[in-house]
Amino acid sequence: MLKAVIFDIDNTLYDYDAAHAPAFQALTAFACETFSLTPQRFAELHRSAERELEIRCGGNCAAVHNRLLRYQALLERLGQPIAYAPGMSKLYWSTLLEAMRPYPDAVETMARLKAMGLTIGIGTNMTAENQYEKLARIGAMPYVDFMVTSEEVTAEKPDRRLFDACAKKAGCAPEACAFVGDSVSKDVRGAMNAGMRAIWFCREGEPDRAIPGATTIRALSELPELLAECRNTFDTKEEPCP
């Protein structure tokens, strides 16, 4: 029987790309004015700092998302005081949080699933503090029973450790969990490899394709009916839904 639904956050509960754009624009404007850079040069330095941080951290950990470390690396490469790094990180995140908006059906869907008696979890590649801020900002926190971040388990999706930790916190076997996310490689493949039911959130405008062994939805509002059918299927011991 289905007992838990676990959500990714970025580009699943809200449009990360739309919120990132003004945040990066604000950061670029600050850097160009402060360090006499062109936008193109800043973009190059930013990409180099990202790659450098990934090499230092080994890639498979939440530290690669740490903007403070990323801007520290950028400033070190640029030969500028690292004292600028905290302010740059705060500028990026404050702008992103101000710009972010939940998908119209995200919070309502979580409320409906909660009313169905399902446990609601979060499984995300990111540092915990920022993800808590995002959930609070979009109004999802009252419906969340647990969260697992890559910072907590020291591994990024699709690493099975993150999915196993989600199942453990949900208090049930992986096959009693549904995992909802936008990334085929991280969310869908990771969930399937961990024995969970994978649900690919393929937003409107994205190429529609079938993922063998997974279910595709175009809107989060499809979930309550879909998962109700799954629960009924399991209760009658018929072949489980995909």
The catalytic residue positions are 8, 10
Q: Which residue has the tokens 């647990």?
A: 146
Number of Cβ within a 10 Å radius of residue 195: 15
Q: What is the CA radius of gyration of the chain?
A: 19
Contact 119, 113 (CB under 8 A): no
Amino acid sitting at position 88: M
Q: Which two tokens stand for residue 97?
A: 């949080």
H helical segments located in 79-159: 85-99, 106-115, 128-138, 150-153
Helix H or strand E encompassing 201: strand 197-201
Q: Residue 193 contacts by C-beta under 8 Å, 6 or more apart in sequence?
A: 158, 160, 163
Handedness of CA 139, 142, 148, 151 (dihedral sign): positive
Handedness of CA 8, 91, 17, 189 (dihedral sign): negative
> Which burial class, exposed, middle or buried, applies to 58 when counting CB atoms under 10 A from its CB (0-12, 13-18, 19+)?
exposed
Q: Which two tokens stand for residue 64?
A: 């690669």
Q: Which two tokens stand for residue 139?
A: 């109004």
Select from 65, 69, 73 the least CA-distant residue to 149: 65
